[in-house]
Homo-oligomer: A and B are copies of this chain.
Amino acid sequence: MTELNTAAPGLIVEDYRSRILSGWLSHNACAWEDYTRHEFVRKLGEGSLPRSVFMAYLIQDYIFLLHYSRAWAMAVVKSETVDQMRSSAATIHGLINEEIQLHIGICAREGISEAELLGAEEASENIAYTRYVMDAGLSGDLLDLLAVLAPCVFGYGHIGLTLANNRNPKPLYREWIDAYCGDEYQRMCFGVANLIDEVAVSRLGDNAESNPRWIGLCRKFGIATRLEVDFWSMGFRLG
């Protein structure tokens, strides 16, 4: 596993060293900016994000993680090798046993039980994103699925690193940032980056960009990224 260099925040996205991811990003530069530099992200980093907005987001993100884990389970269903299966299964484990503890922990301290989280009404922005991912997995192959799973994995990894050096005083937001810039999460990013490149070679060949599917994959990555933008905005709408 490649070592993570957090010393060069300007190169963050490239640090995951996935050629395929780089291609998808460069085709969706504007959407990626809208997503990773969204007002929600900026205010979270500065500490000026209203607590109610953050909590509204966090509750929806709990529900998101359940469906997102289901989508990674779909990646296991669609795997063609043991290594692909193990990699996706490890991601499911990271999501439903580790990442989700962040949400459960914060919510518990804010007086929201896991039962309440489960009973929360799912926002339409949440439905749109998670079900789009599931259906891309059902209708296409593993690579189509990875293209729509990627924006969440790497966007959060990227944002975590970007905000890591931020000196915002709010412990609530610090905890969130620490989770996503932490080793555990960043290791998952590298694992997924490796998986994407490996699957791309097996489905598209060495010259992925010249395969007729390339534009469609870029477009799917772009749609999922746009749905991430809507997800941040949802925080303000609900909070």
Nearest CB in chain B to that of A62: its residue: B82
A168 at the interface (CB under 8 A from B): no
**Interface of chain A residues 143 through 161 with chain B (CB within 8 A):** 144
Say whether A51 faces chain B, with CB atoms less than 8 Å apart: no
Asked if residues A77 and B85 are in contact (CB atoms below 8 Å), the reply is: no
What is the number of residues of chain A that contact chain B, defined by CB distance less than 8 Å? 52
Q: Does B96 lie within 8 Å of A139, measured CB to CB?
A: no
The minimal Cβ–Cβ distance linking A227 to chain B, given in whole angstroms, is 7
| CB of A216, distance to nearest CB on chain B (Å) | 8
Please state if B79 and A70 are interface contacts (CB–CB under 8 Å).
Answer: yes
Smallest Cβ-Cβ distance to A97: which chain B residue: B86
Are the CB atoms of A76 and B73 closer together than 8 Å?
Answer: yes
The reply to whether A81 and B124 form a contact with Cβ atoms under 8 Å apart is: no
Q: Are B124 and A70 neighbours in the complex by a CB distance under 8 Å? A: no
On whether the beta carbons of B97 and A85 are closer than 8 Å, the reply is no
Q: Is A184 an interface residue (CB 8 A)?
A: no
* Nearest chain B CB to A67 CB, angstrom units: 8
Residues of B within 8 A of A86 (CB): 96-97
Write out, one digit per residue, whether chain A residues 44-76 have a CB within 8 A of any chain B CB (1) or not (0).
000000000000000000000010011001101
* Alpha-carbon distance between A76 and B68 when the two chains are bound, in angstroms: 11
Q: Does A125 contact B (CB under 8 A)?
A: yes
Q: Is the CB of A82 within 8 A of B70?
A: no
- A selection of 23 A-B contacts at a CB cut-off of 8 Å is A66-B82, A66-B85, A70-B77, A70-B85, A73-B85, A77-B134, A78-B138, A82-B96, A82-B100, A86-B96, A89-B89, A93-B93, A124-B124, A124-B125, A124-B227, A127-B132, A127-B223, A127-B227, A134-B134, A134-B135, A134-B138, A140-B141, A203-B213
